[in-house]
Amino acid sequence: MAPSASSASTSAARGGSADAVVVPPLPPHTNVRRLPPTQQLNALLTLIRDTHTPRSDFIFYSDRVIRLVVEEGLNALPTLPKTVVTPTGREYSGLSFEGRICGVSILRAGEAMEGGLREVCRSVRIGKILIQRDEETAKPKLFYAKLPSDIAQRWVMLLDPMLATGGSAIQAIEVLLSHGVAPERILFLNLIASPEGLQNLYARFPQVQCVTAWIDEGLDEMNYIVPGLGDFGNRFYSG
Ligand code: URA
């Protein structure tokens, strides 16, 4: 299942663009960052899209994509100039991150992204939001929210691997705004987005930033993303 050392290095030597794949154009939302569609990213996504991929591999390769998305999310954060002295005694004029961050996962699938955030942001605070479909109204309903008390002073990495209709993400963003978070300080980190989800999200919150690994074709009649990867939470937690 894992790429061999030789196949990985051959891909790298080719420069890593996704040649065999039709990459759809970016939707007209300026605040969407999509990861560069490299061969490596496409191969990782192919592994987790494959219905025959066993759970342990699904977790391993999802974690790799999550890590890429989190790193790209950090690229969206502002920086300040910072000069340090290196062991050679010379000055280096570099950068430091400005401001503090926290994570907020949309349960349950968003929890799968917490590890990737913790790997790059040690001791990061992580809140949780549970939104489920209200059986009476068929609309997403907030069931639970536990957020860091100083969240309004932080940049918020909102975590949910699949952006389907956008209903949960929109409701989660409303919760964040009601806790004083400025919309431009919200980074929605996501593995696969649908065009419909992005459209709905940006119709409501144009200032929110979104980082996604891939934008798929659309939704099926059950509101699953297609081609997608199925139910992310089921495959990650119970496969
Ligand atoms: N959530 C998932 O896990 N998969 C989808 O395709 C859509 C929403």
CATH number assigned to the domain comprising residue 102: 3.40.50.2020
Domain that holds residue 144: 37-237
Interatomic CA distance for residues 96 and 79, integer angstroms = 5
Interatomic CA distance for residues 1 and 208, integer angstroms = 37
Give the number of other CB atoms < 10 A from CB of residue 76.
Answer: 15
Residue 30: inside a domain: no
Look at residue 134 in the predicted model and tell me its pLDDT: 76
53 Cα–ligand 1 center, Å: 17
Residue 13: inside a domain: no
Look at residue 135 in the predicted model and tell me its pLDDT: 75
* Six token digits for residue 23: 């990459």
Residue 32: inside a domain: no
The answer to whether the CB of 153 falls within 8 A of the CB of 185 is no
Pairing type for strands 140-146 and 125-133 reads antiparallel
Question: What's the Cα-to-Cα distance from 36 to each of 23, 39, 122, 201, rounded to whole Å?
Answer: 10, 9, 26, 22
Q: What is the pLDDT along the chain (239 residues), one digit of tens a residue?
A: 444 444 444 444 444 555 556 676 777 777 999 999 999 999 999 999 999 999 999 999 999 999 999 999 999 899 999 999 999 999 999 999 888 999 999 999 999 999 999 999 989 999 999 998 777 777 788 899 999 999 999 999 999 999 999 999 999 999 999 999 999 999 999 999 999 999 999 999 999 999 999 999 999 999 999 999 999 999 999 86
- Ligand 1 pocket, mutate which of 58, 168, 170, 229 (most atoms under 8 A from CB): 229
- Ligand 1 pocket, mutate which of 58, 200, 225 (most atoms under 8 A from CB): 225
User: Residue 142's closest CA among 107, 183, 194, 191?
Assistant: 107
Residue 114: inside a domain: yes
157 Cβ contact list (under 8 Å, min separation 6): 70, 73, 101, 102, 103, 104, 117, 187, 189
Q: Which atom of ligand 1 is nearest to the CA of 232?
A: 3
Q: Which atom of ligand 1 is nearest to the CA of 109?
A: 3
Question: What's the Cα-to-Cα distance from 48 to each of 61, 121, 151, 231, 236, rounded to whole Å?
Answer: 7, 25, 33, 11, 10
222 Cα–ligand 1 center, Å: 10
Where helices occur in the chain by DSSP H, the ranges are 5-13, 39-49, 55-75, 114-120, 167-178, 195-204, 232-237
Q: What is the phi/psi pair of residue 196, to 5°?
A: -65, -40
Look at residue 16 in the predicted model and tell me its pLDDT: 52
Rounded to two decimals, the ipTM of the complex is: 0.95
Q: What torsion, rounded to 10 degrees, do the Cα atoms 199, 201, 206, 211 define?
A: -90
161 Cα–ligand 1 center, Å: 8
Look at residue 137 in the predicted model and tell me its pLDDT: 76
Residue 205: inside a domain: yes
Residue 72: inside a domain: yes
Residue 44: inside a domain: yes
Look at residue 21 in the predicted model and tell me its pLDDT: 67
Look at residue 4 in the predicted model and tell me its pLDDT: 45
Domain count, the chain: 1
Q: Which atom of ligand 1 is nearest to the CA of 234?
A: 3
Residue indicated by tokens 């639970």: 144
The answer to whether the CB of 27 falls within 8 A of the CB of 215 is yes
Residue 113: inside a domain: yes
- Ligand 1 pocket, mutate which of 212, 222, 231, 238 (most atoms under 8 A from CB): 231
